[in-house]
Amino acid sequence: MTDALVHAEAHGRVLVISMLREKKRNAVDRAMADELDVAFNRLDDDPELWVGVLTGTGRAFSAGSDLSAGGDYSTERGGEYGIIRRTRRKPLIAAIEALALGGGLEIAMACDLVVAARDARLGLPEVVRGLLPTSGALFRALQVFPVNLARELVLLGEPISAQRACDAGFVNVVAEPGQALPAALDLAERLARHAPLSVQASLAAMNGLLAAGDEAGWAATGEALDSVKDSADLAEGVRAFLEKRPPVWTGR
Among all residues, which ones are annotated catalytic? 106, 126
Q: Which helix (H) or strand (E) holds 122?
A: strand 121-123
In Å, what is the CA distance from 64 to each residue of 21, 33, 108?
Answer: 11, 11, 10
Q: Which helix (H) or strand (E) holds 185?
A: helix 180-192
Q: Kindly give, in sequence order, each residue whose CB lies less than 8 Å from that of residue 113, ignoring residues fewer than 6 positions away.
A: 91, 92, 93, 94, 172, 187
Q: Contact at 8 Å (CB) between 242 and 70?
A: no
Assign residue 26 a region: left if phi > 0, alpha if psi is -120 to 50, beta otherwise?
left
CA 84 to CA 53: how far, in whole Å? 15
CA 104 to CA 54: how far, in whole Å? 11
Q: Which helix (H) or strand (E) holds 116?
A: strand 113-117
Rg (CA), the chain: 17
